[in-house]
Structure 1
Amino acid sequence: MFSRVSTCGLIGLDGFHIQVETDISNGIPAFDIVGLADTAVKEARERVKAAIKNSGFEYPVRRITVNLAPADTRKEGSGFDLPIAVSILVSAGLIPQNAVDGYMIVGELALDGSIRHASGMLCKAIAAMELGFSKFMVPEENVNEVSIVKGLEIYPVKTLKEAAEHFAGINPIQYKTFENVFMPSHNMYSEDFSDVKGQKNAKRALEVAASGGHNLI
């Protein structure tokens, strides 16, 4: 069975849309990831396999092929674990395809199925909004970072099981937004970036540094 899940990659500070295409077919059991993936992405095979089993799901003992499209752009990092796992569960018939449509999903999996903090999430959240996505599933630890992006429904998850139960309609996750996460803890100033004309790249660099607690120099 074929499935497709959306996620995001980065080239510098710019995010781009990646489709995680998964096909499960009969044949000698195997798990292949194609689509110009780096070492961290290829290692997702073991993390995903263990996370699915340890989350209480039956791992498909069949031939699994995962394609990260577009195939001509290099994919780096471990944030593809969660979308790959969700895509496999869709292909296995445990999650309906239409339940994941419209979501952008990012997250690194631990072997026990828990979801870890992922890097570059603010840039990916901005890209999700610019690409027309309104729903963004992220590790719970990244919620405050991505909630500064207006127009996104943020779905925080702690475990793969939690994500699967949300998509299966068993235990829906209450989404968060800019208004109910960022604004209550934000000090309002009389002047802000809206008063600075131009300097788009400089302002974006400051936003990324501030959200991640990074030095500017």
Structure 2
Amino acid sequence: QHNILTSRPYAIKSSYDVKLEITGFTNDNIVKYVEQFFDQTIKEINTDSSKAQKLLKLLESNSSIWGVAHIPVNLELICSLWNNNDRKITTVLTMTVLYDNIIEWQCRRYLTKKNINHEDLMTQDVYDKCNAELQFLEYLAFKGMQCDEIMLTPAILKEAKDDLKSLAIDIPQILKMGILKSYDDTATGTQNQTEKQHYFVHLSFQEHLAARHLLSILMSTNK
């Protein structure tokens, strides 16, 4: 007997006698992943050999961060952020600050892809340069939460683009930020990103970005 496992089985309509649940990393998996991640970076860029143990110590000392580290995509981003700037993440005490730091790091990677020098930019300057992209992602995340959807249909995407028409959003560029992914469930396939379904790398990112959108509304209202 063979089983086919997919993390996004939305197109499968048939019922089965066996149900499988994806539970994420175990505690031992986290330790192994972090050690392997930094073993690889030591070979590639000669990074500090103690970084793995320092990060594990930080994760284990913060129950909230340790909890989200069981999600593989989160752990990969945490490791990448730590490898890029461990001094910044040592100040992380809340989930909000962690996700803000990850989003800033993703923005800096995005600017690198666009050949924009960001090394001397402050956090707010980075956000300003990615303002349109972040506004769209935050609004799209909020629209998805309103519709109770994690798979964002082309209709939701179009509505978000139309509502923020002044930003002149380019979806292929948005995807380069690494926070939103596309998923083509059509039989023939399409290269047009606006005709595909989209999803955030993890529900927790969608929730965080939606919260950022609400915060921006509240702050603008207070003004």
TM-score when normalising by structure 2 = 0.32
Which structure dedicates a bigger proportion of its chain to strand? 1
Judging by fraction of residues, say which structure has more helix. Answer: 2
Larger-gyration structure (1/2): 2
What TM-score do the two structures reach when normalised by structure 1?
0.33
